[in-house]
């Protein structure tokens, strides 16, 4: 019979093996889906560098600007929710509608 510590170590090892296997499958899919298998090593390096740069830039943009966009959206929804107009719409919606009427006419 296995002890608790041995069973925990076995479970951790199984999970690590699953993660490693999944990463290997994703690498294989990336290599086969992209035209990497017909490129020279220098071309592969350049292509992978561009992909890494794009992923890094996307991650940085999400990390920096997503919280700001979420706060901006939350403030807008709070303005709409806490409006004091009798029809339930805030000044933002009423002002936008008036502006659109001016553009259409």
80 contacts 95 by C-beta, under 8 angstroms: no
15 contacts 7 by C-beta, under 8 angstroms: no
| CB environment 55-82: b (16+ within 10 A), e (fewer) | eeeeeeeeeeeeeeeeeeeeeeeeeeee
Q: Is the pTM of this model over 0.75?
A: no
| pLDDT mean over 77-99 | 60
9 contacts 17 by C-beta, under 8 angstroms: no
Residue boundaries of the structural domains of the chain: 1-33
Share of the chain above pLDDT 90, in %: 40
Q: Write out the two tokens for 27.
A: 């690498």
Q: In this predicted structure, what is the pLDDT of residue 4? A: 85
Task: Tally helices (H) and strands (E) across the chain.
Answer: 3, 0
Asked if pLDDT for residue 86 goes beyond 90, the answer is: no
pLDDT digits over 27-67, tens only? 999 888 888 888 899 998 999 999 999 999 999 999 999 88
Q: In this predicted structure, what is the pLDDT of residue 32? A: 86
Q: Write out the two tokens for 47.
A: 């292509």
Q: How many residues does the chain have?
A: 105
Q: In this predicted structure, what is the pLDDT of residue 38? A: 87
Q: In this predicted structure, what is the pLDDT of residue 100? A: 53
* Rounded distance between C-alpha atoms, residue 105 and residue 96, angstroms: 14
């Amino acid at each position: 019979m296995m002890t608790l510590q041995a069973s925990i170590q076995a479970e951790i090892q199984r999970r690590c093996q699953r993660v490693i296997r999944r990463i290997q499958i994703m690498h294989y899919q990336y290599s086969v889906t992209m035209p990497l298998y017909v490129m020279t090593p220098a071309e592969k390096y350049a292509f992978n560098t561009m992909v890494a740069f794009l992923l890094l830039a996307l991650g940085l943009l999400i990390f920096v600007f997503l919280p700001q966009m979420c706060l901006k959206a939350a403030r807008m929804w709070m303005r709409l929710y806490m409006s004091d107009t009798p029809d339930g719409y805030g000044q933002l919606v009423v002002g936008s509608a008036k502006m659109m009427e001016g553009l259409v006419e």
